[in-house]
């Protein structure tokens, strides 16, 4: 599936006006999840925006306690009710744990898709072998895989799987929880371009084939700046400098 380079990650957003502002600015990919407890907020933001629903790509994720085969449909319907939508464009398995069982969860997701409650099925926080197993059980192709991906933590084997199988890797936490603002390599490159470390980090993420990103922002200024970061071109030497940062910081381990 085609995803815009920069979408809106909504974890922690509790004001529907933020979502409406993001849509007004030009965001078309909105990402939420049951565990964020803000699907209603996102739905209210969509309803308040003066954009036709067909122009938006709305994604949500089933939490680990809604992944048993006979719970998937009920969980999906509950999310749709909170969002105020008839269907989502992308429905993820949030993490392959809890009630997740490939032979039960994934056929149930196919059924939800076939019945029109979701257009595409995605996965999140899977390991390579879990992706391979998922392909054995899903009728539909994996539409996207959402993972933590930023200058201090990137799983090259997951990127390789996305590139090999032709689906987008959706990078969450591209700013590493704000840690990029203090990294000397990133701040130096930002100064060279007269821009921010946030823009450099997002541009580095987007420099990888098959990768899009969903940074969270609340203010109009930061929402606009994150989208504009897609226009920043880093040269090969700058990308290599960021690649060489000797630091590993996973924000959301299993």
Annotation marks residue 36 as catalytic: yes
Distance CA 169, CA 211 (A): 5
DSSP string of 2-18, one letter each residue? ---SB-EE-TT---HHH
Q: Which CA distances in Å does 1 have to 13, 95, 165, 166?
A: 26, 21, 12, 9
Strands (E), the chain: 8-9, 29-31, 57-62, 88-93, 118-124, 145-148, 169-172, 211-213
Q: Are 188 and 244 in contact (CB under 8 A)?
A: no
Strand-pair partners of 39: none
State residue 6 phi and psi, 5-degree precision: -125, 120
CB 15 within 8 A of CB 41: yes
Rg (CA), the chain: 18
Strands 118-124 and 88-93: parallel
Beta-bridge partner residues of 122? 92
Indicate which residue of 36, 92, 167, 172 is catalytic. 36
Q: Is the dihedral of CA 242, 248, 251, 254 positive or negative?
A: positive
User: Residues with catalytic annotation?
Assistant: 36
């Amino acid at each position: 599936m085609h995803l815009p380079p920069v979408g809106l990650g909504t974890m922690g957003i509790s004001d529907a006006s933020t979502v409406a502002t993001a849509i007004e600015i030009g965001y078309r990919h909105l990402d939420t999840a049951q565990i964020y407890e803000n699907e209603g907020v996102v739905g209210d933001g969509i309803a308040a925006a003066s954009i036709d629903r067909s122009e938006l790509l709305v994604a949500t994720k089933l939490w680990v306690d809604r992944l048993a085969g006979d719970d998937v449909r009920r969980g999906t319907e509950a999310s749709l009710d909170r969002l105020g939508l008839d269907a989502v464009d992308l429905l993820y398995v949030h993490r392959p744990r809890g009630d997740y069982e490939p032979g039960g969860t994934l056929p149930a997701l196919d059924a939800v898709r076939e019945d029109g409650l979701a257009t595409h099925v995605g996965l999140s926080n899977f390991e390579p072998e879990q992706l391979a197993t998922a392909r054995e059980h899903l009728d539909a192709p994996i539409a996207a895989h959402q993972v933590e991906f930023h200058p201090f933590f990137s799983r090259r084997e997951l990127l390789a799987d996305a590139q090999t199988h032709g689906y987008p890797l959706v990078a969450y936490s591209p700013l590493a929880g704000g840690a990029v603002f203090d990294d000397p390599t990133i701040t130096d490159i930002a100064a060279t371009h007269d821009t921010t470390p946030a823009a450099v980090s997002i541009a580095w993420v987007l420099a990888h084939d098959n990768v899009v990103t969903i940074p969270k922002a609340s203010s109009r200024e930061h929402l606009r700046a994150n989208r504009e970061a897609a226009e920043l071109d880093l040269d090969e030497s700058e990308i290599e400098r960021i690649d060489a940062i000797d630091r590993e910081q996973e924000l959301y381990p299993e």
